[in-house]
Structure 1
Amino acid sequence: MSTITRRQALGAAAGVTAALATAGAAQAIPVSPVSPVTPAPASPATPASADAPEPFDEVYRGRRIQGGASHDGGHGDGHHAGHGGGYSVRIDGEELHVMQNADGTWISVVNHYEPLATPRATARAAVVELQGADLVPLTLS
């Protein structure tokens, strides 16, 4: 004749209690007829998009910064294909590699950990960070 131990009885009771609590919690979760998920905004990945950043050409702190639709459709030299979404930024004629994040913010190789709202703001932040130094072309081997 087998007898149940205290440990087995407590384990079984704990399992039943957990199952009942889970079932009760599942019934208590209200189900909304309207989904809380909203569709993502249109991607500004193409220059023709209405959400594409505005082009700019200005002198900021003595440096000429320019931004606009890239002529290569965002494909660059193949190393960073599409990261800028078809948008290029230049400081004194040298390309500043930029990338648009999923949340719509922009970063560059100079200020990679400082997401900014626009490519213009990203270029200005890079000028500040460079502190007068030349922007060295990014080459990958």
Structure 2
Amino acid sequence: MHSRRMQMVMDRAAIALSTACAIHCLLLPILLVALPALATTSIGRESFHRLLLWFAFPVSVLALTQGCRRHKDRIVLIAGVLGLVLITTTTFIGESFLNENSERLAMVVGATALSFGHFRNYRLCNKNNCKNNCKF
């Protein structure tokens, strides 16, 4: 069942996951200096990005697709696709092609674009009062 409530929950979850990714990118170096033991946990590893992406990607695609079908806003689609491409590309090939600062910047820009897309999607669905019976 694809209801307005489910749409909003998916957008909120995707915003939270994107934000967690950005915070992880920005604060991890500081935390590793302050608490070196974190390096031995899953939070201190690059695989943490893959784990976040594993959850964020399907939720984002579903939420953005449903929202865009309802309100037809291209900015949501562009921001969402840009964010997903940056995050996915950086997660899987960023280490090989980018230095640490560039990788961090790409992840933060991607997470910001994705969060913006979901925030706008959330607002438009709320504003347009997307109904439970919208055709998909």
Higher strand share: 1
TM bin (shorter chain): under 0.3
Greater CA radius of gyration, 1 or 2?
Answer: 1
Higher helix share: 2
TM-score using structure 2 length: 0.24
**More contact order relative to length (CA 8 Å, sep ≥ 6):** 2
